[in-house]
Structure 1
Amino acid sequence: MGLFGFGRKRKAAQDEDHGEAAGKADVEDPEQDARLTGQERGVDRGPWDVNDEDVIDYDDYLDIGSIFLPFLQGVQLRIKSSRESGEILAATVTFGKSSLELEAFAAPKTLGLWDLMRSDLAKANSQAKEVEGVFGHELLLPVTVKGKGMMTRFVGVDGPRWMLRGIFSGPATKGGKEKETLDRYFMDVVVDRGEEPLAPRDRIPMHAPVSPAERAAAKAEDEGAGEGEAKIPDKPTGPFDSDQQTEVKTTLSRGPMFSEVR
């Protein structure tokens, strides 16, 4: 298999029928998976919703609640959480000198959220520049971090009652291998909106990382007890309301999981 995801279930079946490798889609140019060719989110490409008919196979993904993260060799994961409550606020993956921060927000049933959030960002920053990119309308936004100026790239994709926002920094704002890799990574993310009542723009709750093995063990334990759904300990409900953050760092790559914890 390639680096990105684990292949759509439908795609894998088609590849098997034709005697092809299930990971063939991994080497395609992400530009060819995007708006430029008219492909549709949830059918031909991601980010995916857990209930999409053709959702990518995410059984081996890392579960952090609202988001299921693919494993990718060389990627590190940093989790931001509330210092007071321990609530998870965002996840950032780093690849090379680039990073991608991921957040999922609740959205109205009948209206996309990205257009509104993008407009608000542009109005709040006169230096913001809207561009056409892999994910449609994107924003290039200069920011200052620890006294150093840097360019960020904001993208958003609307799903069923959710919007997934990605903030790219480093070389991934321009082009080359790191941009291609993280663009594909963003496409392979799977979002779980859940059924919690949330207002538009509320962050969809996250929890501490749960590995595929831990998820399978919890599911087996619950099924053995005659219950229908696996329980994740300390999984939060409702929107987050704190911006006090701490960080937990770990690797997010194939092989032994969480081999590096700082």
Structure 2
Amino acid sequence: MGLFGFGKKKHQDEDAAEQAAEAAKDETADVADEQAEPAYPTEAVSEYEGRGETYGPWDSNDEDVPDYDDYLDLGAYFLPFLQGIQLRIKANRATQQILGSTITYGSSSLEIEAFAAPKTLGLWDDVRADLLDANKAAVEQPGVFGTELKLPVSLKGGKVLDTRIVGVDGPRWMLRGIFSGKAATDPTDPETLALNKFFADIVVERGEEPLAPRDLIPMHPPVAPAERRARAAAEAEATDGKEHFKDIPNKPDGPFDSDQQVEVKTTLSRGPMFSEVR
């Protein structure tokens, strides 16, 4: 009997191990399938469909928005991580107001701007039409993010820079990307594929501030994930046990504790600059 008992347990253990191995294999396959799923259409299309459901760029309130806890926070949008990029912040020299950002990757670059848009209508069609009217050399063509523009830009010294301009409409916002270098001319180049995915992975945070259509969504200096988590922890610690203060009539707007301070950091005192290298 004892032998039969041990034999049965051995078979049970083997069966359990096989089941666990199969489950692990299935889970690995599911993860691989998720990772293999493209972040944007792989073929050029005239209409960009599936934003917020299958593809990005994402809105922070989308039901299927990816986890962006480790993204770089710029206020209007959160930028994903990509090894080897350089980030340059575009700012108004006089006011130091941040206007956008530019990602450099290899010999290519991507300039990113987020604009407020009407509640019911998209903005990219109108913006694209204005660009076509203002630039006779601009040409419309299908792209992975829908209809895009090819626009050659004249530089000093007689050089011409080829650019590819894309626009994606979201809920009350439009995200515009201006690709240059290989990312503007070679659809199959690794730099193009990497920057396309980077653009598709961006998470936009429109906010509730009233803005006129085509206004830039307000931005702030980059906040790294670790700094953002540290701030959240500090705020939680500062308010711990003081939730009842919010019910006090005529409560002052400032902090109750004298040891709470506000730190102001200025990172763009000389206009546009490289602010982070990844």
TM-score range relative to shorter protein: 0.7 to 0.9
Separation in 2 of the partners of 1:224 and 1:39?
43
For 2:25 and 2:205, locate their aligned partners in 1 and report how far apart those are by CA, in whole Å. Answer: 28
Question: In the alignment, is the contact (CA less than 8 A) between 1:71 and 1:252 conserved in 2?
Answer: no
Unmatched runs of 5 consecutive residues or more in structure 2: 1-23, 244-261
Match of 1:91 among 81, 97, 101: 101
In structure 1, the residue matched to 2:163 is 152
> Radius of gyration: which is bigger?
2
Is the alpha carbon distance of 1:60 and 1:185 closer, same or farther for their aligned partners in structure 2, counting shifts above 3 Å?
same
TM-score by length of 2: 0.75
Say which of 163, 175, 178 aligns to 1:167: 178
Structure ranking higher in helix proportion? 2
CA distance in 2, matches of 1:135, 1:146: 30
1:190 aligns to 2:199 (yes or no) = no
Q: Percent identity?
A: 55
Q: Is the 8 A contact 1:33 1:44 kept in 2?
A: no
Which amino acid is the alignment partner of residue 271 of structure 2? Answer: T
CA distance in structure 2 between the aligned counterparts of 1:33 and 1:51, rounded to whole angstroms: 27
Q: Could you tell me which of 234, 239, 246 is aligned with 1:226?
A: 239
> C-alpha offsets along residues 151-181 of structure 1, whole Å, 9 cap, x if unaligned?
1110000000000000000110122111111
Matched residue of 1:154: which SS? strand
How many equivalent pairs are there? 227
Superposition RMSD in Å: 2.7
CA contact (8 A) 1:140 1:154 kept: yes
Match of 1:19 in 2: 28
Partners of 1:71 and 1:49 lie apart in 2 by 17
State how far apart, in whole Å, the 2-side matches of 1:49 and 1:97 are. 29
Question: Any stretches of 5+ residues in structure 1 without a counterpart?
Answer: 1-14, 236-244, 254-262
Cα distance change on mapping 1:215 and 1:51 into 2, 3 Å: same
CA distance in structure 2 between the aligned counterparts of 1:94 and 1:224, rounded to whole angstroms:
38
The answer to which of 172-181 and 32-41 deviates more is: 32-41
8 Å Cα contact 1:63/1:209 also seen in 2: yes
Mapped partners of 1:177, 1:119: distance in 2: 30
Q: Distance in 2 between matches of 1:84 and 1:157?
A: 30
Pick from 185, 188, 192 the counterpart of residue 179 of structure 1: 192
Classify 1:38/1:153 alpha carbon distance in 2 versus 1 (closer, same or farther; 3 Å). closer
Post-superposition Cα deviations, 1:82-121, rounded to whole Å, max 9, x if no partner, equal 2122111110001110000000000000000000000000
